[in-house]
């Protein structure tokens, strides 16, 4: 059996805490920036996440991390909303974003560009399709895609 990553362990520990707070666990990242490690937990809920939600989850997650001690070195814990413009990573993220404006960044250019913007019209786990403002349709396989995020236009 493969050893679980810190993100996977923290996801398992944080999920019941986040759900008890009436929120949805969107993502967990454990990354090094500069010389420091950051454990970032992204939560969401209908109507938006409040500072109180973040604080409640942060305190409870901090307590269980102190108890279980799955991380052997110093890190900063951050709990926040993924924001209005959020990266789509998991299948449910893509499914929830159908009908929304997205930005698709590709590893290699297609049609002389690596960046496409349009309404996410379809996603099946292996491909996604967007429709641009000028009604052009584009379909990409997931292995072509470096990053997809929702966009908010004002």
The residue with greater pLDDT, 23 or 90, is 23
How far apart, in whole angstroms, are the C-alpha atoms of residue 42 and residue 53? 11
Please determine, for residue 1, whether its predicted confidence score (pLDDT) is greater than 80: no
Please determine, for residue 8, whether its predicted confidence score (pLDDT) is greater than 70: yes
How far apart, in whole angstroms, are the C-alpha atoms of residue 48 and residue 53? 10
pLDDT of residue 99: 95
Taking a C-beta distance cutoff of 8 angstroms, is the pair 112, 105 a contact? no
Please determine, for residue 76, whether its predicted confidence score (pLDDT) is greater than 90: yes
How far apart, in whole angstroms, are the C-alpha atoms of residue 11 and residue 15? 6
> Mind listing the domains of the chain with CATH numbers?
6-80 (3.30.300.70), 91-150 (2.30.30.100)
pLDDT in tens, 83-141: 888 889 889 889 989 999 999 999 999 989 999 999 999 999 999 999 999 999 999 99
pLDDT of residue 51: 94
Q: Helix, strand or coil for residue 7?
A: helix
pLDDT of residue 14: 97
Q: What does the H/E/C string look like for 33-80?
A: ECCEEEEEEEEECCCCCCHHHHHHHHHHHHHHHHHHCCCCCCCEEEEE
Q: DSSP code of 144?
A: G
Q: Is the pTM of this model over 0.85?
A: no
pLDDT of residue 2: 72
Please determine, for residue 143, whether its predicted confidence score (pLDDT) is greater than 90: yes
């Amino acid at each position: 059996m493969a050893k679980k990553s810190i993100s996977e362990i923290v996801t398992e520990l944080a999920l019941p805490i986040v759900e008890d707070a009436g929120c949805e666990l969107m993502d967990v990242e454990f990354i090094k920036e500069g010389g420091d490690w950051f454990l970032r937990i992204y939560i969401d809920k209908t109507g938006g996440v409040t500072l109180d939600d973040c604080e409640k989850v942060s305190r409870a997650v901090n307590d269980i991390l102190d108890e279980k001690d799955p991380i052997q070195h110093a890190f900063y814990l951050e709990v926040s909303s993924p924001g209005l413009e959020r990266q789509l990573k998991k299948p449910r993220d893509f499914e929830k974003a159908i009908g929304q404006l997205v930005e698709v960044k590709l590893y290699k250019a297609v049609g002389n560009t690596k960046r496409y913007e349009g309404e996410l019209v379809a996603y099946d786990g292996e491909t996604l399709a967007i429709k641009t403002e000028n009604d052009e349709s584009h379909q990409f396989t997931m292995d072509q895609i470096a990053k997809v995020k929702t966009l908010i236009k004002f």
